Amino acid sequence: MDFAYENMYKYQCYLLYIICQYNNILYIMVRKKTILMSEEKSIFDIVLNKLSTLTPNEKKIAQVLIDDYPSNGLRSIPQFSKAAGTSHPTVLRFIQKIGFNGYPEFQEALRTEVRTKFKTLPERYQDFTIDSLKNTEYEQYSKNFTAILDRSLTDNNRLNIKKIAKLLAGNTKRVFIISGIMSKHIGVMCTSYINFIRPNVTHIYLQDNQAIATMDVNKGDVIIAIDMPRYEKGITQFSLAAKERGASIILMTDDSLSSDVVKCANHILTNRILSPAPFDTYMGCVVQIELVAVELIVQQKEKFATRMNRMEKIMQNLD
């Protein structure tokens, strides 16, 4: 009798072991399938697939995200909900419906998605062929660049351009413009435009005069940080230090908003920088800088007129 019970006990233990192993294998298979699905599908695709299950207000949020993807998803909850004309709780319910526990997790997934898709310059050159420069392709290039310009002039960017010009107005506060290796020419151009309109403008090119400039920044000064992929630590360090000293930070970056300067920026101008060429395009930045300059002239007409008259006299004497 004892022998029979012992065998039955062993059989039950063995059966339990088999069931546990089966469940583990099943879990691993499901987990792998979930990971593969998440790798294959972007958040954009997930939102499109979920549209039919969303409430009317949630569909508004989805539409705002789709209209300017991924930029709108990287805005704050108040900005996102305002753009969609809905409430904060509705945004959070939408985020949960598309598979995220909260807004920070959703935004981190967006940033990870952008970083994953980022290609190095050699990789982009590999994908580029001389055939793409044939005359038949120029029309497509033109369409791409037109779309890039349109993205640089979104409603949010237009609003920020006016705010930035207002911040730059007045000749007493100093303006520091910092740019990196790939964006040096944009920094030089930005400095030239703004210095043409008002004095006390300094261009900082990475570590050339970064330490001294950081020491000179005071409360009320304005920093324009031009931080594009590949994001440079020096730009972030200078911006954070300037913020601690009471300066206002304006950030010009790409529409992934992956720059660390985002954390301390008062105003942000975003740009679509990916182009058909094997390098990034800064056309959007150029247009934004020109519009800031125009808006700045409008906001201080008399000071600008006085400055132009003085410059004209100097130029005449030089001739």
pLDDT on residue 66: 79
What would the pLDDT profile of 109-130 be if each residue is shown by its tens digit?
A: 888 777 666 555 566 556 555 5
Name the DSSP letter for residue 161. H
CA distances from 5 to 1, 8, 11, 17, 71 (A): 6, 5, 10, 18, 67
What would the pLDDT profile of 168-205 be if each residue is shown by its tens digit?
A: 997 788 999 999 888 899 999 999 999 999 999 999 88
DSSP string, 15-33: HHHHHHHHHHHHHHHHHHH
CATH number, domain 148-318, options 3.40.50.1100, 3.50.50.60, 3.40.50.10490, 3.30.428.10: 3.40.50.10490
Tell me the C-alpha distance between 211 and 205, whole Å: 11
Phi, psi angles (nearest 5°) of residue 278 = -80, 30
Report cis status (omega within 30 of 0) of the bond before 174: no
Residues of the chain with CATH 1.10.10.10: 43-117
Residues of the chain with CATH 3.40.50.10490: 148-318
- Residue 223 burial (C-beta neighbours within 10 Å; 0-12, 13-18, 19+): buried
Query: Largest Cα–Cα distance in the chain?
Result: 120
What would the pLDDT profile of 134-153 be if each residue is shown by its tens digit?
A: 554 567 667 777 877 877 77
Q: Which CATH class is domain 43-117?
A: mainly alpha
Tell me the C-alpha distance between 304 and 301, whole Å: 5
CA distances from 297 to 155, 157, 170, 238 (A): 21, 18, 11, 28
User: pTM of the predicted model, to two decimals?
Assistant: 0.66
- Residue 39 burial (C-beta neighbours within 10 Å; 0-12, 13-18, 19+): exposed
pLDDT on residue 319: 66
